[in-house]
Amino acid sequence: MPELPEVETMRRGLAKLVGSRIMGVSRPRSPLRPITIHPGLPALRRAVRARRIVQVGRLGKRVVVWLNSSRAIVIEPRMTGRLLLSTPPDRKHVRLVFRLGGRRKQQLTFWDSRGLGVVHLLRPEEFAENFGPHRLGPDALLITQKMLQIRLRASRRAIKVALMDQRVLAGIGNLYASEILHRAKIHPELPCNRLGPSQWRRLHQAIRRVLREAIRAQGSTLSDGAYGTSDGRAGRFQTAHRVYQRHGHRCPSCQRGTIRRIVQAQRSTFFCPRCQPLGNR
DNA sequence: ATTAATGTTCAGAA
DNA sequence: TTTCTGAACATTAA
């Protein structure tokens, strides 16, 4: 699940490539189904050859590599995709290799165990069309409390589900949604239109705090091995998780409640029933 | 050995 | 319009 902190960690790892030339891209043969490339590998090959990387950005949970041809390569890691400048964990799940210029023979590897990741090659107008404001809300680290409130206050959806909607705000997924709501002391099933002013304030603060702390720790690395830095090291935020996958444990905040697991929108939600009351406060 | 669970995104249905 | 459901996929735990 790379979410905002994990993708931001990837972006920072790739920032040193600004100015580098891409010499070529290849898809190593593998028994696994190839990942999706829009509009296809041949087009990607032609587009990257001898182009320079002028900027590496992030768009919610996606990494954007801008070329000096003003084309963008958008990489969606989805569940298990990783961008690595170091040796990948295995060869089998290497999906794409970008050969970089310079005497160091550097390679940028897209490694993805489940293969749900997607790569797009886009002209500027296509970029705006596919990833503009109508498809993606403001970045979770940039959105103001007022913007968040305006976008959600009329909705009857559960707040946890709404937080994961990338059209509302971009970057929050299942793990951080639970952690943020626990920090904000808000029940995950509380409908958006039932939040009071103090809850909106706590929610906005919790989004900023949790995401910033997680970025500082270089994201969360879970037992399934995915995620970490571009040089292959693990993130450290998983040790700071207060509720995620901690059902049955004592709540670290109140020391008295027991973390529960429920299912919302077919995904696990973790929360402390004692710290996170359903009522309005 | 089979089965469930994992979680992001999108298409299509309610 | 808004909200919900299922499928894509590989791996691991039960």
Q: How far is the CA of A78 from the C1' of C11 (A)?
A: 15
How is residue A92 annotated by DSSP? T
Question: What's the CA A50/C1' B12 distance, rounded, in angstroms?
Answer: 41
Query: How confident is the model over A170-183, as a mean pLDDT?
Result: 93
Strand C bases within 7 angstroms of protein beta carbons: 2-13
The DSSP code sequence of A14-70 is HGGGTTPEEEEEE----SSPPPEEES-HHHHHHHHTTEEEEEEEEETTEEEEEETTS
- Report residues 179-238 of A contacting strand C, contact meaning Cβ closer than 7 Å: 223-225
List, in sequence order, every residue forming a beta bridge with A122; answer none if it has no partner.
Answer: A72
Per-position b or e across A68-99, b if 16+ CB within 10 A of its CB: eeebbbbbbbbebbbbbbeebbeeebbbbbbe
Q: What is the pLDDT of residues A219-242, one digit of tens each?
A: 887 755 556 677 888 888 777 788
Average pLDDT, chain A: 90
By C1' distance from the Cα of A116, the closest nucleotide is: C9
Q: What tens digit of pLDDT does each residue of A236-259 get?
A: 877 778 899 888 899 999 999 999
- For the CA of A255 and the C1' of B10, the distance in angstroms is 41
The model's pTM is 0.95
3-state secondary structure of A120: strand
Q: Which amino acid belongs to residue A202?
A: R
Other C-beta atoms within 10 Å of A44: how many? 21
Of all nucleotides, the one whose C1′ comes closest to residue A32's CA is: C10
Question: Which residues of A have a catalytic role annotated?
Answer: 2-3, 61, 267
Q: Report cis status (omega within 30 of 0) of the bond before A39.
A: yes
Residue A36 approaches strand B within 7 Å at CB:
no
Q: Residue A16 — very low, low, confident or very high, per pLDDT cuts 50/70/90?
A: very high
Among residues A51, A79, A80, which one has the least CA distance to residue A65? A51
3-state secondary structure of A85: coil
Query: Region A35-52: what's the mean pLDDT?
Result: 92
What nucleotides of chain B have any atom within 7 angstroms of a protein Cβ? Answer: 5-10
Query: If you search the block for the tokens 């905040």, which residue do you land on?
Result: A253
Taking the CA of residue A2 and the C1' sugar atom of nucleotide B8, their distance in angstroms comes to 9
Query: What order do you get walking across the sheet with A51-59 strand by strand?
Result: A36-38, A118-122, A72-76, A62-67, A51-59, A21-26, A94-100, A107-112, A81-84
Q: What is the pLDDT of residue A91?
A: 85
Residues 180-209 of A with CB under 7 A from strand B: none
Closest nt to residue A35, judged CA to C1': C9
How are beta strands A51-59 and A94-100 bridged, if at all? Answer: unpaired
The strand C neighbours among A residues 76-135, by Cβ under 7 Å, are 79, 92-93, 113-116
Residue A157 near residue A194 (C-beta atoms within 8 A): no
Distance A198 CA to B6 C1' (A): 34
Token readout for A164 is 């994961």
Q: Quick one: DSSP state of residue A228?
A: -
